[in-house]
Amino acid sequence: MDLDAVNRLDFYIGLSLAVSSSIFIGGSFILKKKGLLRLAKRGSTRAGQGGHAYLKEWLWWAGLISMGAGEAANFAAYAFAPATLVTPLGALSVLVSAVMSSYFLNEHLNVHGKVGCLLCILGSTVMVLHAPQEEEVATLSAMAEKLKDPGFIVFAVCVVVSSMILIFVAAPRYGQNNVLVYILICSVIGSLSVSCVKGLGIGIKELFSGKAVLQEPLFWVLLLLLVACVSLQINYLNKALDIFNTSIVTPIYYVFFTTSVMACSAILFKEWFRMTVDNAVGTVSGFLTIILGIFLLHAFKDITFSWDTLPLFLHQDHQGSTWGQPYIALSDEEIPTDEYGQSSRIRATTGNLPDKNIAIIT
């Protein structure tokens, strides 16, 4: 089997592992949620109130096993496919979770969510078609040479310095008010953690082929760095989720984390140097399409907007609504008010809205 055939086979193995990882992880949230709902119906103390009855629920354990299988598949995917492909495909777990929750948890998936799912699928397909299929690093010795590259050393130093500034300067001052602080910490550190996973995956792949990888100091250094990076990521991601809304944290974290990983991959593994212009443009376009899909899935998930309510928006002008009329700015003295001090324009507009949940979010 020639080298091109081997690279192509590894590419499809990594792709299959990445997709199966998303399915397992997305399904794990549904299994865990079903288990917690069953416990709530029985009157058990809920997990949010400090209860641990879920440890006796087999559905919760099934979800945990599914998540473990997904993370293992994701770990293995980095040993076969480029990080440029594997990391963005993590968005499919959000899609799987959203679709399965509408069927198994009776959660509503509005029009925005359905369009977002479609965009995630299209973006992932475009990325798969245009992502680099050749591997720049296949052994730990080659990985060691890549780590000595001056470009990556400068990048790693910038990551460490910026992380220290964010942790010790920005986080105490702005962490409670600005969602970007904790997310930036997780994202820049995450770029190094994915590189560690990539190296460990290559090492484990060599281990199964019979090489004495465990005697390589680099293998253990990568393992220690991975534990340190993941610990910091979990800590600050939990802080972000505790303070800010999940619908805000999830899409922003995905964008910054994936962008950081793709930048690190381009510097360390130089996967982009063998890509043609159309493949590079296609990969970036697919990534941006996934970002848009994730945004639609999360930003508008609480809006009760469906195909049934769409005609209400399209035909409001036939019912005397102000929606179809041009907006004319008036001064405060020119706007008539009622006996309660409420603007007649506000009453006219809100009175014709189909539903209060369909109003524009401010």
Tens-digit pLDDT profile for residues 322-352: 444 444 444 444 444 444 444 433 343 344 4
Percent of the chain beyond pLDDT 70? 75
- Predicted confidence at residue 228, as pLDDT, reads 92
- Predicted confidence at residue 345, as pLDDT, reads 39
- The answer to whether 236 and 186 have CB atoms below 8 angstroms apart is yes
- Partners of residue 343 on adjacent β-strands: 337
Kindly indicate the confidence band of residue 290, based on its pLDDT and cuts at 50, 70 and 90. Answer: confident
DSSP label of 343: B
Q: Which residues contact 358 (CB under 8 A, 6 or more apart)?
A: 303, 304, 305, 309, 313
Long-range pairs of 152-159 with CB within 8 A, sequence gap ≥ 24: 152/267, 152/268, 155/263, 155/264, 155/267, 155/268, 156/192, 159/188, 159/189, 159/191, 159/192
- The answer to whether 264 and 194 have CB atoms below 8 angstroms apart is yes
Cα angle 228, 231, 235 (rounded to 5 degrees) comes to 140
Percent of the chain beyond pLDDT 90? 10
- Predicted confidence at residue 153, as pLDDT, reads 93
- Predicted confidence at residue 233, as pLDDT, reads 86
Distance CA 102, CA 131 (A): 31
Distance CA 302, CA 150 (A): 48
- Predicted confidence at residue 264, as pLDDT, reads 87
Distance CA 316, CA 323 (A): 6
Residue of 4 and 286 predicted with greater confidence: 286
Residue of 214 and 318 predicted with greater confidence: 214
Distance CA 192, CA 133 (A): 22
Q: Which two tokens stand for residue 174?
A: 């702005």
Cα angle 241, 246, 252 (rounded to 5 degrees) comes to 90
**Tens digit of each residue's pLDDT (9 = 90 or more) over 81-117:** 887 788 888 878 877 877 787 777 777 777 777 888 8
Distance CA 121, CA 137 (A): 29
**Tens digit of each residue's pLDDT (9 = 90 or more) over 210-261:** 888 888 888 999 999 999 998 888 888 778 867 776 667 777 777 888 888 8
- Measured in residues, the chain has a length of 362
- Predicted confidence at residue 59, as pLDDT, reads 82
- Predicted confidence at residue 353, as pLDDT, reads 40
